[in-house]
Structure 1
């Protein structure tokens, strides 16, 4: 089955047309901002751009649009510009990503198209090397591992679920678990113990620990500890 060039084969739910401030622009750049348009990501990584009276398909990776301005004049048309603007403003996912719901707060976020684990928004996502703060104690830790497992399904070495510890009562049992080490423990001799936390219990401090960071601030190979009831 074929479809007309200006009609996408599969469109998501309708989105209201919006505009942006002109911001001192002119020509096509201005029209991309001030003309009402609705941008909708398609399943194949392209975008449908609905204007007053027409719908065109933009492929950001290929830098193409099905509109006459691009097809006939080979111009970077207002539709290409508008999609790039909405991607930059995080209103629609970039190519290769899709919209998802954060497993912690339910907010909108973007994940790789093939991603199948629990999605997390930037506020609640952590990566190995991130410097974070324990909301319960105020102490600083370094994230050493991310898991796709929920706090009500991860057991500690004591055989207790992470979600069942009293210190985790204020955090969702459905939240993915992260493993982290206390920053102060890296400055002491002996094994460095890992601890398991629900995602929202860890608050990002804003500094990422890298290989260039002083060794006193970097996590070394760790073993699972048993000194604390929340150790996992």
Structure 2
């Protein structure tokens, strides 16, 4: 029996989905704006500078949605907790954007997440 918590039980729902769902973050002409292709195939516009996305979760609930979080994780602006099982992470995390996903080490420092 593993003592490592599951991603879904230990992170909030949106962060867990941002790390494990098959999504692709694509750059635009602006280094702070991205197109995020979700696992449903829908394409959302994310503006990290403004902290907004055009998905219903962000527009109607006013929350930091999984698309914003995915872009932050992909660029290394949001650190993946050390206990996260790397095999559960979406292998596309961090592809196509400048920057790189960062994961926390047990000692509290961070490292670039290798694909």
Q: Deviations over 1:40-74 (max 9, x none)?
A: 11012310000122000111011010101000011
User: Are residues 1:35 and 2:21 paired?
Assistant: yes
SS at match of 1:28: helix
| Structure 2, unpaired ranges of 5+ | 1-5, 80-92, 100-115
Q: Which residue of 35, 57, 61 maps to 1:73?
A: 61
Q: Deviations over 1:106-134 (max 9, x none)?
A: xxxxxxxxxxxxxxxxxxxxxxxxxxxxx
Q: Distance in 1 between matches of 2:30 and 2:20?
A: 27
Count the aligned residue pairs: 74
Q: Distance in 2 between matches of 1:86 and 1:58?
A: 13
Q: Deviations over 1:134-189 (max 9, x none)?
A: xxxxxxxxxxxxxxxxxxxxxxxxxxxxxxxxxxxxxxxxxxxxxxxxxxxxxxxx
Runs of 4+, deviation exceeding 3 Å: 21-24
User: Are residues 1:93 and 2:83 paired?
Assistant: no
**Larger RCO, structures 1/2 (Cα 8 Å, 6+ apart):** 2
User: Are residues 1:47 and 2:34 paired?
Assistant: yes
Q: Distance in 2 between matches of 1:22 and 1:41?
A: 27
- How many angstroms does 1:25 deviate by? 2.0
Cα RMSD, aligned residues only: 2.2
Higher relative helix content: 2
TM-score w.r.t. the length of structure 1 is 0.29
1:55-204 matches, cutoff 5 A: 55-88=43-76, 91=94, 92-93=97-98
| Structure 1, unpaired ranges of 5+ | 1-20, 95-232
Q: Distance in 1 between matches of 2:12 and 2:20?
A: 10
SS at match of 1:48: strand
Higher relative strand content: 1
